[in-house]
């Protein structure tokens, strides 16, 4: 058998991830604030992109949806049928073709993002298509806007300044306490070793060895740190933290010392034994517990951290009355967090007519094509997010009207099949996105919950609804008759939830509620301290 070179022709199919498709997929995953940062980078890289300076904010294509509460024909909604929309919305690859652009059509600042609201009515009208869909994208703009002019969410300028960290707060005080440079150095080193709650975990002998200082100097430095504000920082355990605050309040008497030395008995609920050890009567013991409850066991958490950061919603939902008088929901993109992006066409026409070189003209055409693709991808992102959000609101209509007890089981596949998108696309849309409504701000993933079989066999109920029912029952329980998990199973079965005892225990622990023994002990402590049983 002879071996030799040969030329073959084969036809195959493959999925090509073009740069434009990768950009569109990335935009779907980003939140509004991240898109704003992305637009800032695009403005620096492309001179043809600009921010509109108009005072009013126009509604862009797909900027809002007026959604009826009941719409039997809503399954007719679909993505636009243009090749670019299919590429972005369905994730299908296409050839990286250059955009055909007519320079004569660029002699004005015409906006194409002024389409009408897409109203999903009972007639099955397209929720996402609008007049802009047939417009000239080479002369388009993109407006991160939502419907309802008076329904604006918080903007980026409303972000409060980041709170100072605990270390910064302590370092600012340490310089005015002493002139001993060595002591100040050791104190600053200890400050940097504190955890977020304000505790010093590292043993002092190890600190002395690492810094090469006598143990007495390290103890003096620690005393200096413990004298700073907030009271309680620099403690090595809970007892020392509370003791520092008791000294500050001038309540560190021998009885309080015994109480703080035996916090383990307090945790186990051995109140009678603890009261005998302290040598006080019922009234004094109740006052001591009340005083103890007023102390902060984690003083460092008052400073810094992510707890103070506000969540900026990406989608806004409010009740609305539709044109036909029916009750519905107004769903819009939070326009306050997105700049209004346009193409500077006058600059493009001026540069092309200035007699620039062939390479410069080619570079301008490339930048114009990139700008048009970005506007198209941003507009498609809006439409896709609104389409998915509208279906979530439609599926979880009971939650928006009545609360978490009416939350239904929902999966990504259910939404994907209804809106004719791939499941991975819905997953990208719901990642790192937040929805604001009258009941609060929720991550879109919150509305996708597993199902629990109901006792009547008519279907499944949401796991979040079960958790809400467990919390409601425990919050209403009597301190003298704390509900066990077996009792909770019976009560939940009366409400239509058919659950096993281990499932109830799992959900109870997931929402941070203790067992019946732990709750009984806590309620006894509340009563002893004069607090209201919970």
CA distances 50 to 4, 58, 143, Å, are 59, 16, 12
Task: Give the residue carrying structure tokens 């036909």.
Answer: 324
Global pTM value: 0.53
Tell me which of 1.10.645.10, 3.90.330.10, 1.10.10.60, 1.10.10.10 is the CATH number of domain 450-528.
1.10.10.60
Q: Where are the alpha helices (DSSP H) in 396-500?
A: 397-402, 412-419, 423-430, 463-475, 485-494
Structure tokens at 145: 């806007």
Angle among Cα 217, 191, 162 to the nearest 5 degrees reads: 165
Rounded CA gap, 450 and 393, in Å?
17
Closest to 297 in 3D by CA, of 257, 219, 240 = 240
pLDDT above 70 covers what percent of the chain? 74
Q: With bands split at pLDDT 50, 70 and 90, how would you rate the model's confidence at 388?
A: very high
Structure tokens at 277: 């050890």
Q: What are the domain boundaries of the chain?
A: 19-150+335-395, 166-302, 450-528
Q: What is the mean pLDDT of the chain?
A: 74
Quote the pLDDT of residue 199. Answer: 92
Closest to 219 in 3D by CA, of 200, 246, 247 = 200
Rounded CA gap, 271 and 151, in Å?
54
Quote the pLDDT of residue 392. Answer: 92
Quote the pLDDT of residue 147. Answer: 37
pLDDT tens per residue, range 152-179: 444 434 444 445 788 888 888 876 667 7
Q: With bands split at pLDDT 50, 70 and 90, how would you rate the model's confidence at 139?
A: very low
pLDDT tens per residue, range 225-248: 998 888 899 999 988 999 999 888
- The mean pLDDT value for 380-403 works out to 89
pLDDT tens per residue, range 345-361: 888 888 877 777 888 88
Closest to 345 in 3D by CA, of 111, 125, 84, 172 = 111
């Amino acid at each position: 058998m002879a071996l030799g070179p040969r030329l073959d022709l084969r036809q195959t199919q493959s999925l090509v991830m073009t740069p434009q498709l990768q950009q569109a997929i990335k935009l779907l995953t980003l939140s509004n604030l991240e898109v704003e940062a992305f637009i800032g980078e695009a403005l620096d890289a492309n001179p043809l992109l600009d921010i509109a300076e108009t005072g009013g904010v126009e509604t862009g294509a797909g900027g809002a949806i007026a959604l009826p509460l009941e719409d039997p024909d809503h399954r007719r909604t679909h993505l636009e049928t243009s090749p670019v929309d299919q590429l972005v919305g369905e994730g299908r690859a296409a050839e990286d073709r250059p955009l055909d652009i007519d320079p004569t059509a660029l002699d004005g600042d015409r906006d194409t993002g002024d389409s009408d609201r897409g109203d999903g009515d009972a007639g099955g009208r397209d929720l996402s298509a609008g007049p802009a869909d047939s417009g000239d994208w080479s002369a388009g703009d993109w407006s991160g806007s939502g419907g309802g002019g008076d329904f604006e969410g918080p903007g980026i300028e409303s972000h409060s300044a980041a709170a100072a960290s605990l270390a910064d707060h302590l370092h600012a005080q340490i310089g005015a306490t002493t002139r001993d440079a060595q002591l100040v150095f050791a104190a600053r080193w200890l400050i940097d070793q504190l955890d977020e709650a304000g505790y010093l975990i590292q043993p002092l002998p190890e600190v002395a060895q690492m810094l090469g200082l006598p143990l007495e100097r390290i103890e003096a430095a620690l005393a200096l740190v413990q004298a700073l504000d907030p009271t309680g920082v620099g403690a090595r355990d809970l007892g020392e933290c509370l003791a520092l605050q008791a000294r500050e309040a001038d309540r560190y008497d021998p009885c309080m010392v015994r109480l703080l030395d035996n916090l383990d008995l307090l945790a186990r609920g051995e109140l009678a034994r603890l009261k005998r050890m302290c040598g006080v009567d019922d009234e004094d013991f109740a006052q001591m517990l009340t005083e103890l409850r007023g102390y902060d066991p984690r003083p460092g958490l008052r400073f810094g951290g992510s707890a103070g950061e506000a969540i900026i919603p990406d989608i806004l939902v409010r009740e609305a009355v539709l044109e036909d008088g029916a009750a519905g929901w107004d769903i819009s993109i939070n326009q306050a967090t997105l700049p209004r992006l346009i193409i500077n066409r006058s600059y493009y026409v001026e540069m092309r007519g200035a007699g620039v070189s062939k390479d410069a003209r080619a570079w301008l055409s490339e930048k114009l094509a990139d700008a048009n693709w970005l506007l198209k991808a941003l507009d498609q992102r809006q439409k896709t997010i609104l389409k998915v959000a509208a279906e979530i609101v439609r599926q979880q209509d009971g939650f928006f009207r009545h609360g978490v007890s009416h939350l239904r089981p929902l999966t990504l596949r259910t939404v994907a099949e209804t809106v004719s998108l791939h499941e991975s696309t819905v997953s990208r849309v719901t990642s790192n996105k937040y929805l604001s409504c009258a009941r609060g701000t929720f991550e879109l993933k919150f509305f996708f919950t597993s199902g629990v079989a109901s006792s009547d066999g008519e279907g499944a109920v949401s796991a979040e609804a079960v958790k809400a029912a467990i919390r409601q029952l425990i919050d209403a329980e009597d301190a003298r008759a704390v509900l066990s998990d077996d009792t909770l199973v019976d009560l939940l079965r009366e409400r239509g939830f058919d659950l096993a005892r281990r499932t109830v225990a799992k959900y109870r622990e997931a929402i941070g509620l203790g067992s019946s023994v732990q709750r009984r002990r806590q309620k006894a402590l509340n009563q002893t301290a004069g607090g209201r049983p919970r």
